[in-house]
Chains A and B, each alone.
Chain A
């Protein structure tokens, strides 16, 4: 079997690898190496849209995300303490490989366009090292680490790791967060930085529906991803234990998320 690094070196010249927006998919520029897919998948799966990864002590959080008919993700976390949580997730993701482009398991180009379905299963640990409970605001610092395996429809599994952190500040009218994720494996390293800013047209209370309008900017950088910025507009609704969020990127890709706390 061709070694991992050998296969990677064959694709080394294909730098024009399409990046995957939060809910987009690989091959924007026509190429989708299997390793790029792994990288992209991991980027997608760990770049949550501002949701906090820790609920409360003895709390369970489940999340489901959908993106542009190409991606579905499910996550579940348990928090033994308000300070940390752990959980797992699974991401199903489609990538498009144009005719003639490498990307199949044995490296041979296909004569026709091909769509591949990938599966990523991962474990994640989240930690809250600092929280500020102010009179009319709250601020947090979260950090996390993930490890996953990617299966792309063949028998090969690839491993990638992720560490990240987030700072957020909110009142009942404004929300701001800054997040960074570093993704790394033996053959790639890249970073995704995300800024979210939100405003609420009215102050919600515990028994009323919360409504938020947010804008998000995401910057991609690293060895394989396309360098660039992706902009999104989001609408967020939540009440008690239920949260729904939907938005669209500058390219018109729709995304949606459901989240529940128990």
Chain B
């Protein structure tokens, strides 16, 4: 009974984590020009799952927050960035909000 409760709690925790992990953060190379990088935002916003996009040249970061209950596959993200002319080096899913990312970027963190 204790083991079952523990497993259920663990499953609930994993489910909660997955549900709140709606930010995809990508490390991108070649991001040195804001004018050129507008294509990244335009391309990502075409995806109906995209809720917001945050781009930081300083941190070589492109972050996409998705609408609740949705996700964007890694392959689709890599293709979108390639269409914009850039290379994705790493993809990480986090629970950070777009606002939190912007705040950290503007404060010198990230």
Contact = CB atoms under 8 A, between A and B. Distances in A.
Contacts of B86: 133
A50 B58 CA distance: 23
Interface in A132-189: 132-138, 170-172
B33 interface: yes
Given A56-B83, A57-B83, A210 B35 contact: yes
Contact of B29 (A134, A171, A210): A134
Interface stretch (B10-18, B38-46, B66-74): B38-46
Interface in B58-93: 58, 60, 82-87
B76 to A, nearest CB: 14
A71 interface: no
A58 B45 CA distance: 13
Interface residues of A, number: 34
Contacts of A243: 35
Nearest to B54: A206
B1 interface: no
B56 interface: yes
B30 A133 contact: yes
B60 A135 contact: yes
Contacts of B42: 56, 58-59
Nearest to A204: B34
Interface string A211-251: 00000000000000000000000000011111100000000
A94 B60 CA distance: 46
A82 B34 contact: no
B43 A56 contact: yes
Contacts of B83: 56-58, 81-82
A205 interface: yes
B39 A261 contact: yes
Interface in A114-138: 128, 131-138
Interface of B: 28-30, 32-40, 42-43, 55-58, 60, 82-87, 105
